[in-house]
Amino acid sequence: MIEGRARSAGPAADGGEGDWEHFAHGADIGVRGRGATAAQAFEQAALALTAVVTDPALVRQAAAVSIRCRAPGLELLLYDWLNTLVFHMATQHLLFSAFDVRITDGDLEAEARGELVDVERHAPVVEVKGATFTELVVRRHDDGRWLAQCVLDV
């Protein structure tokens, strides 16, 4: 299990850290983000997405992309968020390592920061085809912390 912990750029209610991990899916791979807020869990899930391709620590913050998504429900919003990142990664040949997500009433506004793929330095493992509905969960636990996860098709 690859996992990581990073102070999220997003507003965390308790100022705590988010974390992410991968989980196994037969042919592919699951991404799971946790945080003090749904926004922070989304940021961590996005870091887990990058980690499927390369080590996020290798990705400099040299370029920024603004993203807006709107969906009926947080789970569809996570689907849209991750798939919008996949779209920008594919069309602009970018990798992202920092995210600032704000979620208000089904609207997501975000900035994703990263840089162009450098095959030598990043040694990218695999391209992500898309985020799926498989194991798609966004949930607030009893302790108040948020979980955001789904399986990626790679």
Partner 1 sequence: MNREGMHRDGDYRWVIEPTGDMRVPAVLYADEVLLDDMDDKVRWQLCNVASLPGIVGAAYAMPDAHWGYGFPIGGVAAFDAEAGGVVSAGGVGFDISCGVRTLVSACTRDEIAGVQAALAHELARAIPAGVGSTGRLRLSDREMDAMLTGGARWAVAQGYGSSDDLAHIEEFGCITGADPDALSQRARDRQRDEMGTLGSGNHYLEVQCIAEVFDRAAAAAFGLEQGRVVVSIHCGSRGLGHQVGTDYLRDMVIAAPSHGLQLPDRELACAPIRSSLGQRYLGAMRAAMNCALANRQILTHLCRESFRRILPGFDGHLLYDVSHNICKEEMHDVNGTKRRLHVHRKGATRAFGPAHGAVPEAMRDHGQPVLIGGSMGTASYVLAGAATGEALSWSSACHGAGRSMSRHQATKQWHGRTVVDELAARGILIRSPSLRGVAEEAPGAYKSVDRVVDVAERAGLARKVARLEPLICVKG
Q: Is 63 in the site for partner 1 (CB under 8 A)?
A: no
Q: 3-state DSSP call for residue 132? A: coil
- C-alpha–C-alpha distance, residues 30 and 70, integer Å: 23
Q: Is 76 helix (H, G, I), strand (E, B) or coil?
A: helix
Tell me: does residue 127 bind partner 1 (CB under 8 A): yes
Nearer Cβ to partner 1, position 138 or 151? 151
Map the footprint of partner 1 across residues 75-114, applying CB under 8 A.
76, 79-80, 83, 86-87, 90-91, 93
Q: Which 1-40 positions form the footprint of partner 1 (CB under 8 A)? A: 1-2, 22, 24-29
Q: Which residues contact 2 (CB under 8 A, 6 or more apart)?
A: 21, 22, 51
SS3 state of residue 71: coil
- Of 64 and 123, nearer to partner 1 (C-beta) is 123
18, 40 Cβ separation under 8 angstroms: yes
Decide whether 7 or 133 has the Cβ nearer to partner 1: 133
| Positive/negative CA dihedral, 66, 77, 30, 12 | positive
Q: How far apart are CA 20 and CA 23, in angstroms?
A: 10
Residue range at the interface with partner 1 (CB under 8 A); choices 34-42, 43-51, 107-115, 131-139: 131-139
Q: Which residues bind partner 1 (CB under 8 A)?
A: 1-2, 22, 24-29, 53, 72, 76, 79-80, 83, 86-87, 90-91, 93, 116-117, 119, 122-127, 129-134, 136, 151, 153-154
